[in-house]
A and B are shown apart, each in its own frame.
Chain A
Amino acid sequence: MSSRAGGPGGRRDGRSRRSGRNRLRGWAGRHALTVLAVATAAILAVMLYLPVGIVFSQAVFSEGTPTLSAFRAVLADPFYTGALAGVLADPLAIGAHVEGVLEWLRAGAPVPRMGLFGFTAYQAALSTVASVLLGLPAAYVLATYEFRGRRTIRSLTILPFVLPGIMVAVGFYAMFGRDGTLNAALDFAGLGPVDFIGYSPLAVVIVAHAFYNAPLVARVTLAAWESVDRRAVETARSLGAGPGRAFRDVVVPQLLPAVLTGALLTFVFTFMTFPIVLALGGLGLATVEVWIYDRISQLAVAEAATLAVLETVLTLGLTYAYLRYESAQAGMSRGDASPAREPLFPDLRTALSARRLAVLAYGAVAVVVFVGPMASMVVGGVTDGGGFTLRHYRFLAERQATGAAYQTLPWPAIRNSLLFGVATLAVALPMGVTISVLTVRSRWGTAIDALAMVPLAVSGVVFGIGLLEGLVFGTDIGGFRLQVTGAAAIVAAHAVAAYPFVVRNVSPLLADLDPALVESARALGASRARALLDVELPLVASGIVAGAAFAFAISIGEFSSTVILASGSDAYTMPVAVERYLGRRNGPAIAMGTVLLVVTAASFVVVDRVGGRFEA
């Protein structure tokens, strides 16, 4: 009894006194989450749904009346839909269409006209095949072999995803361009210079897409591979299956969904590709996204909006199909005993086995594709035809010193990028964490998750147009003029592009937390918000830090909407500066790209170091 000071009456009074005095703080505590949720919803409404909605409404409304004529015009135009235009123009004339197909077959089935959408899908499909072909061996090597640097390479597979597209394009210029490292190597071998990009821009674009997406394919496949329960394979072996058979019967079925996931994501990403095609292919290789950008530049906004809607519908449809598929796969179990890895080079004899040689050959290809462009860019920044030079950096310095105000200066680009990055963090982190909490803990979690993931399915260009139309030019809402311009608009765009990555990093950790932890805190007297602050956030700190690294890198590298919002202003960022230099002066662009690489890598390393402290 000694520990229970205060008799029955005292305790009763204590309870009511507490609840009385803390009523105000209690209200704030109870409703802090609601307040955050409302603020997040408001930001999303203004910065995401309104702009995207405006783009959609421009496609559907013509001078105030709803019409589908814009869609009909696009769909029936062979320039857009190629050989399908006739079918789409009059879908019910089935007889004529069948006749058309037969005629086409009689003519020996020549390659039909693809149109803009067809070509976009075609290059996306080729890019997907290339990414899968390049990604699967990496997953195999990382899952099967143990070697020095395996863990480092495994973590590095996340890197391409956050590398600015325009920088990757510059890297490919530095490697495959007329003055690139590949030509320097050929020259060394006594072979003449080859204009790779001029000869087959499509091939270079596809390799650049593979640079981006093969690591993604490798990553998701590897994750599935590592979760295969070794005991399942061992059981199959003990039941009489040989190693190959056990692999086919036990491992492959568990890898397939992951491979399909990687392939589908690759297709969606490359379907929406923009900076790489813009920089490497130009209008000659125009994809839907590039063409939308061009239409905007020509002020043909309605047409751009129509294209944007069609593109979004296509990618959203694919994403939805993928989510349905993913939820159907959700029952797959995670194993406790992950597969054992064997040493890559145990001794000299096995080093020359066919399998090891194949691994080596793949390694060589991987070095060319993944390391080549980045190394070429760094090297290209300090060389010209003759040898080592600081000319390109000197150009940047001189431009900074003497450039006119209307010219693109290096320092403002770097400064803007860093400022926007920090501002993006300040907005995207609270948003992302709030959405994570709502997704994981609330009853409408799935719906909130789907709504909040819209930015992943809406392309940067579409979003940029929406922001331009809706916020930069301004919108009247009930007599109140809503206008967001310049830096604020760019930060908003970056934050909206970045917060899904915070959500994606925080939600899984949050979902893994034992709900009893929060309940214990609450039973001990903590309000919901206090429990979030005291218990949940410290325990998902590593996810928040990782999310922050992504958010910062996304902001630094964002190109599509920034290039639209920054046009004609001095709010340009490093990627925009790179694009502006590119074409006119490749040397400075490559130098600027190197600076971008350094800043991106440095921010990633810094955040990674900070994050390392939190990971127990």
Chain B
Amino acid sequence: MTELALDGVSKAYDETTALRDVSLAVADGEFFTLVGPSGCGKTTTLRTIAGFEEPTAGEVRFDGESVTGLGPEARDVGVVFQNYALFPHMSVAENVGYGLKFRDSGTASSEARIEELLELVDLSGMGEREPSQLSGGQQQRVALARALAPEPSLLLLDEPMSALDARLRESLRRQVKRIQSELSITTVYVTHDQEEALAISDRLAVMNEGRVEQIGTPEAIYRRPRTRFVAEFVGDNNVLAGEVRGREDDRLRVGVDGGEFAIGDPVADSGRDSGDRDGGVESAPSPGDRIIFCVRPEALREDAETNRVRVSVEGQEFHGESVRVDGRWGETPIVLRLPDVPTHEELTVGFEPEAAHVVERE
């Protein structure tokens, strides 16, 4: 099967640079996601892998072999687009069978293969329908079946769920994940939805302004962001900047505006997970350094005993299992996730020193 590697890939258009030195490696059978805001280069990266774009520098390798210069038809990839891109003048079966025309197998086995694929995506017996007769979710499953039919070595999905409503998106993404792990096909998935990226991926790359900000497992990305951008982009977060005033017993004392917080030592913190290259700071910050650290909303609790601050409540959203509260500590906006609707306009919350994560030096 196929391992994918991008090695220093850059892409410059006439006036803009879309990708800057993107390097990443996707293991055989891995579900790998590129996530970032619009214009971050994630789709360009995918298109470069597919062969729709040629990089201006760097190389794309499948199993160690460079595919530079190969057209998309020679790369043996399956691509699913956001808007499905089903051929409107062909039936569902003709769509799914289109790629088989360019393979060696005969017609009879094509028909069996088409039915097999339709079954895989729960669309048995729908082969004679026209794409326009299907719902959005069904169309997307046809697109997936079409991409998988020629047994590609790589499956590339470009925001495949964006056009669907929220509930459908969740059930379809579970189906995609199930099919992917059944086939154990190496998959690159592009999305702007960080929640989806965390939910579906084995590993993900967070991209911003044409660069890879961080690569890691969903858990590592969420818990130990390496840049301010990742800390703010992935999940709700409270990102604070402050000055190190001292360190004792694996704790840093950090002054932020009028207050002072005790937070866990970042070097010890990154040492807990040696597998990921995600320690935002390699050496321990010393007094006088300015650092950026983050505390997740769910870590801010009313019953915590350390790092307590008074937060004035400015707004709240009821989410069922929790309540999201937007508040302010002095001038600093603070996000909380509380089990219940707050009863006062002011709350006192705190967090454990180990719940804070040092992102980077400022």
Binding site for B on A (CB under 8 A): 1, 3-6, 8, 11-12, 14-15, 18-19, 26, 30, 514, 516-517, 519-528, 534-535, 538-539
Contact B104 A3 (CB under 8 A): no
Given contacts A514-B83, A539-B89, contact A519 B52 (CB under 8 A): yes
Instruction: Give the CA-CA distance A5 to B113 in the complex, in Å.
Output: 11
Contact A523 B83 (CB under 8 A): no
Return B237 CB to nearest CB of chain A, in Å: 34
Return A444 CB to nearest CB of chain B, in Å: 12
B183 contacts A by Cβ under 8 Å? yes
Contact A18 B88 (CB under 8 A): no
Chain B 65-111 residues near chain A, CB threshold 8 A: 71-79, 81-83, 85, 87-89, 98-99, 101-104
Contact B50 A519 (CB under 8 A): yes
Given contacts A514-B85, A538-B89, contact A524 B150 (CB under 8 A): yes
Return A522 CB to nearest CB of chain B, in Å: 4
Return B50 CB to nearest CB of chain A, in Å: 6
Instruction: Give the CA-CA distance A535 to B88 in the complex, in Å.
Output: 9
Binding site for A on B (CB under 8 A): 1, 50-52, 63, 71-79, 81-83, 85, 87-89, 98-99, 101-104, 116-117, 120, 143, 146-151, 153, 156, 182-185
Return B155 CB to nearest CB of chain A, in Å: 10
Contact B153 A15 (CB under 8 A): yes
Instruction: Give the CA-CA distance A11 to B78 in the complex, in Å.
Output: 14
Instruction: Give the CA-CA distance A521 to B77 in the complex, in Å.
Output: 11
Which 5 A-B residue pairings sit nearest by Cβ, starting from the closest?
A525-B102, A524-B99, A516-B85, A523-B79, A516-B81
Instruction: Select B73's contact among A6, A514, A522, A539, beta carbons within 8 Å.
Output: A522
Given contacts A3-B116, A11-B1, contact A520 B146 (CB under 8 A): yes
Contacts A/B (CB < 8 Å), 7 sampled = A26-B74, A519-B79, A522-B71, A523-B78, A524-B99, A525-B103, A526-B73
Return A5 CB to nearest CB of chain B, in Å: 8
Contact A519 B85 (CB under 8 A): yes
Instruction: Select B71's contact among A4, A527, A538, beta carbons within 8 Å.
Output: A527
Instruction: Select A523's contact among B50, B116, B185, beta carbons within 8 Å.
Output: B50
Return B150 CB to nearest CB of chain A, in Å: 6
Instruction: Give the CA-CA distance A292 to B117 in the complex, in Å.
Output: 68
Apart from A4-B183, A522-B72, A524-B150, 11 more pairs, CB < 8 Å = A4-B185, A11-B76, A11-B151, A19-B74, A516-B82, A516-B83, A519-B50, A520-B81, A523-B78, A525-B150, A527-B71
Chain A residues near B74 (CB, 8 Å)?
15, 19, 26
Return A44 CB to nearest CB of chain B, in Å: 27
Chain A residues near B63 (CB, 8 Å)?
12
Chain A residues near B81 (CB, 8 Å)?
514, 516, 519-520
Instruction: Give the CA-CA distance A534 to B94 in the complex, in Å.
Output: 11
Chain B residues near A14 (CB, 8 Å)?
104
Chain B residues near A538 (CB, 8 Å)?
89
Instruction: Give the CA-CA distance A230 to B73 in the complex, in Å.
Output: 45
Contact B98 A521 (CB under 8 A): yes
Instruction: Select B184's contact among A1, A519, A528, beta carbons within 8 Å.
Output: A1
Chain B residues near A526 (CB, 8 Å)?
73, 98, 102
**Residue in B closest to A531 when the chains form the complex, CB atoms:** B73
**Residue in B closest to A7 when the chains form the complex, CB atoms:** B1
Instruction: Give the CA-CA distance A473 to B79 in the complex, in Å.
Output: 56
**Residue in B closest to A29 when the chains form the complex, CB atoms:** B73
Instruction: Give the CA-CA distance A8 to B85 in the complex, in Å.
Output: 29
Given contacts A516-B81, A524-B146, A538-B89, contact A30 B151 (CB under 8 A): no
Instruction: Give the CA-CA distance A453 to B81 in the complex, in Å.
Output: 35
Instruction: Give the CA-CA distance A8 to B89 in the complex, in Å.
Output: 35
Contact A525 B101 (CB under 8 A): yes
**Residue in B closest to A525 when the chains form the complex, CB atoms:** B102
Instruction: Give the CA-CA distance A11 to B152 in the complex, in Å.
Output: 9
Instruction: Give the CA-CA distance A524 to B98 in the complex, in Å.
Output: 7
Given contacts A1-B182, A11-B1, contact A525 B99 (CB under 8 A): yes
Instruction: Select A525's contact among B50, B73, B153, B185, beta carbons within 8 Å.
Output: B73
Return A536 CB to nearest CB of chain B, in Å: 10
Q: Which of B63, B78, B88, B117 has the most CB of A within 10 A?
A: B88
Instruction: Give the CA-CA distance A1 to B116 in the complex, in Å.
Output: 12
Return A1 CB to nearest CB of chain B, in Å: 7
Return B329 CB to nearest CB of chain A, in Å: 43
Instruction: Give the CA-CA distance A19 to B72 in the complex, in Å.
Output: 12
Chain A residues near B77 (CB, 8 Å)?
523
Chain A residues near B148 (CB, 8 Å)?
3
Contact A3 B120 (CB under 8 A): yes
Chain B residues near A524 (CB, 8 Å)?
73, 78, 98-99, 102, 146-147, 149-150
Q: Which of A1, A12, A517, A520 has the most CB of B within 10 A?
A: A520
Chain B residues near A6 (CB, 8 Å)?
151
Contact A18 B71 (CB under 8 A): no
**Residue in A closest to B148 when the chains form the complex, CB atoms:** A3
Contact B153 A519 (CB under 8 A): no
Contact B183 A519 (CB under 8 A): no
Chain A residues near B182 (CB, 8 Å)?
1
Contact A4 B85 (CB under 8 A): no
Contact B87 A535 (CB under 8 A): yes
Instruction: Give the CA-CA distance A18 to B151 in the complex, in Å.
Output: 14
Return A232 CB to nearest CB of chain B, in Å: 27
Instruction: Give the CA-CA distance A4 to B29 in the complex, in Å.
Output: 13
Given contacts A12-B63, A523-B72, A524-B98, contact A517 B184 (CB under 8 A): no
Instruction: Give the CA-CA distance A526 to B63 in the complex, in Å.
Output: 23
Instruction: Give the CA-CA distance A4 to B183 in the complex, in Å.
Output: 7
Instruction: Give the CA-CA distance A528 to B117 in the complex, in Å.
Output: 26
Instruction: Select A517's contact among B73, B87, B149, beta carbons within 8 Å.
Output: B87
Chain B residues near A525 (CB, 8 Å)?
73, 99, 101-103, 150
Return B102 CB to nearest CB of chain A, in Å: 3
**Residue in A closest to B105 when the chains form the complex, CB atoms:** A5
Chain A residues near B183 (CB, 8 Å)?
1, 3-4
Given contacts A524-B98, A527-B73, contact A18 B104 (CB under 8 A): yes
Contact B85 A520 (CB under 8 A): yes
Return A387 CB to nearest CB of chain B, in Å: 55
Chain A residues near B82 (CB, 8 Å)?
516
Return A471 CB to nearest CB of chain B, in Å: 39
Given contacts A1-B183, A12-B63, A516-B83, contact A523 B153 (CB under 8 A): no
Return B25 CB to nearest CB of chain A, in Å: 17
Instruction: Give the CA-CA distance A517 to B89 in the complex, in Å.
Output: 11
Q: Which of B74, B98, B116, B183 has the most CB of A within 10 A?
A: B74
**Residue in B closest to A3 when the chains form the complex, CB atoms:** B116
Chain A residues near B120 (CB, 8 Å)?
3
Chain B residues near A535 (CB, 8 Å)?
87
Chain A residues near B89 (CB, 8 Å)?
538-539
**Residue in A closest to B119 when the chains form the complex, CB atoms:** A3
Chain B residues near A1 (CB, 8 Å)?
182-184
Given contacts A11-B153, A525-B99, A534-B98, contact A519 B83 (CB under 8 A): no
Instruction: Give the CA-CA distance A4 to B149 in the complex, in Å.
Output: 10
Return B317 CB to nearest CB of chain A, in Å: 31
Chain A residues near B151 (CB, 8 Å)?
3-6, 11
Given contacts A11-B153, A525-B150, contact A520 B73 (CB under 8 A): no
Return A20 CB to nearest CB of chain B, in Å: 11
Contact A517 B71 (CB under 8 A): no
**Residue in B closest to A522 when the chains form the complex, CB atoms:** B72
Q: Which of B1, B76, B85, B120 has the most CB of A within 10 A?
A: B85
Return A18 CB to nearest CB of chain B, in Å: 7
